[in-house]
Structures are given as structure tokens and as C-alpha cells.
Amino acid sequence: MSRLLLTLVLCAASAAAHAAAKPCDELKTEIAAKLDAKGVKGYEIAAVENDKVGDAKVIGSCDGGAKKLTYVRK
């Protein structure tokens, strides 16, 4: 039981640390590559300050949670 709990805690900590450290440009490139591979056209992904999201759809956060990535169809 304690081994399972330790594994879960380590996995959660690892995932949180990995997500917090991702720069916006890197995450934006990864998401754009996935959309392009699926044939999605006519979109814009932008890194914006948290309070400047507006009506755009938020698809991720980056720079340690300081910014949000937004997705808008053109």
C-alpha cells in the first residue's frame, strides 16, 4: 500500500514540475504540430497574459502559469 502511495505522489510531483517549467514558445509549437498533423487550418495560437484572455478559448498555460495559450479560428 505504501509503495503504491509513494508511486502516485512521485508521478503527480513529476507531472506538476514538468508542466510548470514549459516555455510558451515550446508549448505553442507542440500544439501547432498536433493541429497541423490533424489537418486543421485557419487558426491562431497566442500566448497572452492571464488577465488578457478575453473571448478566446484557453488551450493551455505556460511560463509557470504566468501566461495562457489561446486558440482562435480565423
Tell the residue number behind the cell numbers 504540430, with chain if given.
33
8 compared with 32, residue with greater pLDDT: 32
- Report the alpha-carbon distance of residue 74 to residue 63 in Å, rounded: 25
Residue 68 CA, chain-centre distance (Å), reads: 8
Confidence band, pLDDT 50/70/90 cuts, at residue 2? very low
Domain boundaries, the chain: 20-73
Contact of 22 with 42, CB cutoff 8 Å: no
CA dist 49 and 2 (Å) reads 41
* pLDDT at residue 15 tops 60: no
Residue 63 CB neighbour total at 10 angstroms: 17
**What is the reported pLDDT for 49?**
96
- Name the 3-class secondary structure at 13: helix
Q: Give the model confidence (pLDDT) of 45-71 as tens digits.
A: 999 999 999 989 999 999 999 999 999
